[in-house]
Homo-oligomer: A and B are copies of this chain.
Amino acid sequence: MAAKNDDSGPAIPPAIESAWGLRERPPKGPRPGLTVPGIVDAAVRVADADGLTAVSMSRVAKELGAATMALYRHVGSKDELLMLMVDAGYGPSPGPPPPQDDWRAGVTRWAWAEREVLRRRSWLLHVPITGPPITPQQLGWLEDGLRCLDGTALAEGEKMSVLLLITGYVRNEATLTSQIAEGSRAAGVEPSEMMPAYGRTVARLIDPARFPALHRVLAAGVLNQDDDPDDEFTFGLDRILDGVEALVRRRAA
């Protein structure tokens, strides 16, 4: 008797397989009133409305008019539900790059698309990541990113590394800006006053003799002006893409 997975594979959860369209409904038994996509949608609705901390099994069940334990017929655990929520929350990838775009324009578009998703659903950033992507939409995003680099002379491994670099940057930047937003809401401060208040706090704590460089930054008023977050994002992205561009040129030569 073979194991349940025919050849190999480290045991994909059943709900993930159903997300890939494998796994048909068994012929017997009562018609299910709950479905995996329905549960995931309800969970996403809760997260959109009240944040990830509001997503508990009982809250999601309430959203569906079902009992808590009913969900466990369809998802193996809360972690599995979270994985599916991430997949649904990202949504479909922005699509392949327009043909007239060079790699840099394509990757820029791709990065901005991810940023936009993370801005609108900041709870995605709070889901603890447990492994590399294996859900359909996630791999769709990856695919479209790779296609942006198709015209370059980069090795396949380098393309992957570059995308990892970019998506990591986008996530990181989105995390920081979302922290400012959430922190200001928690403290009851205007978002535009958040960084100045932070600057004042740090200025009060540090000794200029021990933290001269930091003191200079504060004295320059870096944190006082609230610059457009888009500019901050563009700055970092352009730095990274400048570095990638140097590599692309070298490989082309």
Instruction: Tell me whether chain A's interface is mostly helix, strand or loop, or mixed.
Output: helix
Asked if A243 is an interface residue, CB under 8 A from chain B, the answer is yes
Binds B, one of A23-31, A41-49, A164-172: A164-172
Closest to A196 in B: B8
Contact of A10 with B187 in the complex, beta carbons under 8 Å: yes
A242 and B236 in contact (CB under 8 A), knowing A131-B183, A213-B146, A214-B139? no
| Alpha-carbon separation in the docked complex, A60 to B142 (Å) | 41
Asked if A147 is an interface residue, CB under 8 A from chain B, the answer is yes
Contact of B241 with A143 in the complex, beta carbons under 8 Å: no
Q: Which residues of B sit under 8 angstroms from A70, Cβ to Cβ?
A: none
Binds B, one of A32-40, A84-92, A113-121, A155-163: A155-163
Partner of A202, one of B8, B139, B206: B139
Closest to A239 in B: B243
Asked if A244 is an interface residue, CB under 8 A from chain B, the answer is yes
Q: Which residues of B sit under 8 angstroms from A211, Cβ to Cβ?
A: 139-140, 143
Asked if A175 is an interface residue, CB under 8 A from chain B, the answer is yes
Give the A interface residue count (CB, 8 A): 73
Closest to A250 in B: B242
Contact of B197 with A232 in the complex, beta carbons under 8 Å: no
| Alpha-carbon separation in the docked complex, A161 to B169 (Å) | 12
| Alpha-carbon separation in the docked complex, A236 to B159 (Å) | 11
Asked if A66 is an interface residue, CB under 8 A from chain B, the answer is no
Contact of B240 with A206 in the complex, beta carbons under 8 Å: no
Q: Which residues of B sit under 8 angstroms from A214, Cβ to Cβ?
A: 139, 142-143, 146
Contact of B197 with A10 in the complex, beta carbons under 8 Å: yes
Give 29 CB contacts A-B under 8 Å. A7-B204, A8-B197, A9-B200, A10-B201, A11-B187, A130-B179, A130-B182, A131-B179, A131-B183, A132-B198, A143-B214, A146-B213, A155-B220, A156-B222, A157-B217, A157-B220, A157-B227, A158-B235, A160-B217, A160-B222, A161-B232, A164-B176, A168-B176, A169-B169, A172-B172, A239-B246, A240-B243, A241-B243, A242-B247
